[in-house]
Structure 1
Amino acid sequence: MFKILAIDDDRDILALIRNILQRDQHLVSVRDQAHQLTVEDVQGYDLILLDVMMPQLDGFEFCRLIRSAVDCPILFLTARSEEEAIVEGLLTGADDYLTKPFGVRELSARVNAHLRRERREKHPSRQQIGSLDFDFDMKQIWLGENLLPLTKNEYKICEYLARNRNRVFTREEIYDAVYGMDGQALHSTITEFIRSIRKKCKEHDVMPITTVWGVGYRWQ
């Protein structure tokens, strides 16, 4: 049994989500006002479902506010299917998204896939890889005393590449490592994530990810 939080201003959607996920034996909490929640209110959950279009405080901004304090997967619920909006949402730190209207089986399968993946991706200890120090327990990367402000998926990409240092990976291979075979995000988000990682690393005069033109990316 996992603890799941669903945040959506549509109470009918919340009732549907609760009914679906309770059938899977999950403990589901629902809230219909994101702007009334504090960081403490969203901690302690194994997964968060977060609506994008909400009054007063939208899902993108709320995700930015809580991401550094919440380690669990965050899935956006959105009626917006434009590529730019989806990429924006994932770059705020979300792990995936579901487009409304979604089916019962799709919601159940996507949620349970993320929960299974999260349970598998627990790595012990710390390791120095190149000039960067990886804390696998905390899912953080340090450069000396400086913590790189990476989103969850940015960290996943860095860890995947760093653990396989000097091997070249295509964008599609990196996508599968981050989202799995059941991912529904756009492959172009990987390019955006890597661009963001490079920008954050460049501020500390390091550039660990190189492009192998026509092939993919490598951690050096």
Structure 2
Amino acid sequence: MAKILAVDDEPAILALIRSALVTDRHLVTTIQDSTQVRQANLGAYDLILLDVMMPGVDGFTLCKEIRDAVDCPILFLTAKTLESDLLYGLGLGADDYIMKPFSIGALRARINAHLRRETRERRKVLYLEHVHFNLSGRELSVYGNKVPLTKSEYDICEFLARSRGQVFSKEQIYEAVFGFSGESDSSAITEHIKNIRAKLGRTDTDAIETVWGIGYKWKL
């Protein structure tokens, strides 16, 4: 299951996209007015579909504006067939094109192929609400400000964030982050979580939820 944003000025196309993708249990958000994309929480999505020819703000312009803010695949929906148009769009940072008119089967196959690739490749950044993980640099920022986490604290945050919404016990977190050769035990996770919450709390961010009797989860 993935979170997908589809932007197109044609309601019928958006309805078709939603109908096709919910079949694969994806969560689909649709936007008809392209000017509203700038206010969307783009980091929450695993894939973005942009129609090229839209009134207000066209797909090329949107891609150029948001590419640096998101690390997920961006796919264009377009009736343009000129090679120069395709190359221009890819040069702006798009990952692929889906030509109109398209079949439901082709749409599903193309999107799922990109989502599978994302699970195989280590992403460079991860955006969850206003929290930004620089995976290469192993840094966490809130509203653009770096949070001074220790290595262990960062590892716990990244582990939980990558499986946001899923609950893990202290033992599961310890094993995933430290391995069996760690020099402490799972009770250390409680203290690490306490320290993480204190540091994130200084930025008014409450990201880790305690599920009583079970463990913890990333809730943003």
Is the 8 Å Cα contact of residues 71 and 123 (structure 2) preserved in structure 1? no
Structure 2-normalised TM-score?
A: 0.55
- Dislocated runs of 4+, deviation >4 Å: none
Unpaired runs of 5+ residues, structure 1, are 125-134, 139-220
Is the 8 Å Cα contact of residues 39 and 69 (structure 1) preserved in structure 2? no
Is the 8 Å Cα contact of residues 6 and 30 (structure 1) preserved in structure 2? yes
Quote the offset at 1:56 in angstroms: 1.4
Query: Which residue number in structure 1 is paired with residue 36 of structure 2?
Result: 36
Structure 1 distance, partners of 2:43, 2:76, is 17
Q: Secondary structure at the match of 1:71?
A: coil
Structure 1 distance, partners of 2:33, 2:94, is 19
Q: Secondary structure at the match of 1:107?
A: helix
Quote the offset at 1:92 in angstroms: 0.6
Mark the CA change 1:123 to 1:11 in structure 2 (over 3 Å): closer, same or farther.
closer
Query: Which residue number in structure 2 is paired with residue 103 of structure 1?
Result: 103
Query: Which residue number in structure 2 is paired with residue 137 of structure 1?
Result: 136
Question: What's the C-alpha RMSD, in Å, of the aligned pairs?
Answer: 1.7
The correspondence of residues 188-207 of structure 1 with structure 2, limited to 5 A, is none
Query: Which residue number in structure 1 is paired with residue 120 of structure 2?
Result: 120
Is the 8 Å Cα contact of residues 7 and 51 (structure 1) preserved in structure 2? yes
Q: Secondary structure at the match of 1:15?
A: helix
Structure 1 distance, partners of 2:76, 2:100, is 10
Is the 8 Å Cα contact of residues 122 and 137 (structure 1) preserved in structure 2? no
The correspondence of residues 42-191 of structure 1 with structure 2, limited to 5 A, is 42-122=42-122, 137=136
Structure 1 distance, partners of 2:94, 2:24, is 23
Q: Name the stretch that deviates more: 102-111 or 32-41.
A: 32-41
Is the 8 Å Cα contact of residues 3 and 28 (structure 2) preserved in structure 1? yes
Structure 1 distance, partners of 2:36, 2:14, is 17
Instruction: Report the residue type matching 1:76 in the other structure.
Output: F
Deviations 1:150-193 (A, max 9, x none): xxxxxxxxxxxxxxxxxxxxxxxxxxxxxxxxxxxxxxxxxxxx
Is the 8 Å Cα contact of residues 39 and 66 (structure 1) preserved in structure 2? no
Structure 2 distance, partners of 1:44, 1:75, is 16
Query: Which residue number in structure 2 is paired with residue 15 of structure 1?
Result: 15
Deviations 1:42-91 (A, max 9, x none): 22100001000000110000101100001100000000010000000111
1:5 aligns with 2:5: yes
Query: Which residue number in structure 1 is paired with residue 147 of structure 2?
Result: none
Unpaired runs of 5+ residues, structure 2, are 125-133, 138-220
Query: Which residue number in structure 1 is paired with residue 27 of structure 2?
Result: 27
Mark the CA change 1:123 to 1:27 in structure 2 (over 3 Å): closer, same or farther.
closer
Identity rate, percent: 55
Q: Secondary structure at the match of 1:6?
A: strand
Structure 1-normalised TM-score?
A: 0.55
Quote the offset at 1:33 in angstroms: 1.0
Structure 1 distance, partners of 2:81, 2:38, is 28
Instruction: Report the residue type matching 2:117 in the other structure.
Output: R
Is the 8 Å Cα contact of residues 9 and 32 (structure 1) preserved in structure 2? yes
Is the 8 Å Cα contact of residues 53 and 78 (structure 1) preserved in structure 2? yes
Structure 2 distance, partners of 1:50, 1:43, is 15
Q: Secondary structure at the match of 2:72?
A: coil
Structure 2 distance, partners of 1:40, 1:77, is 19
Structure 1 distance, partners of 2:94, 2:4, is 15
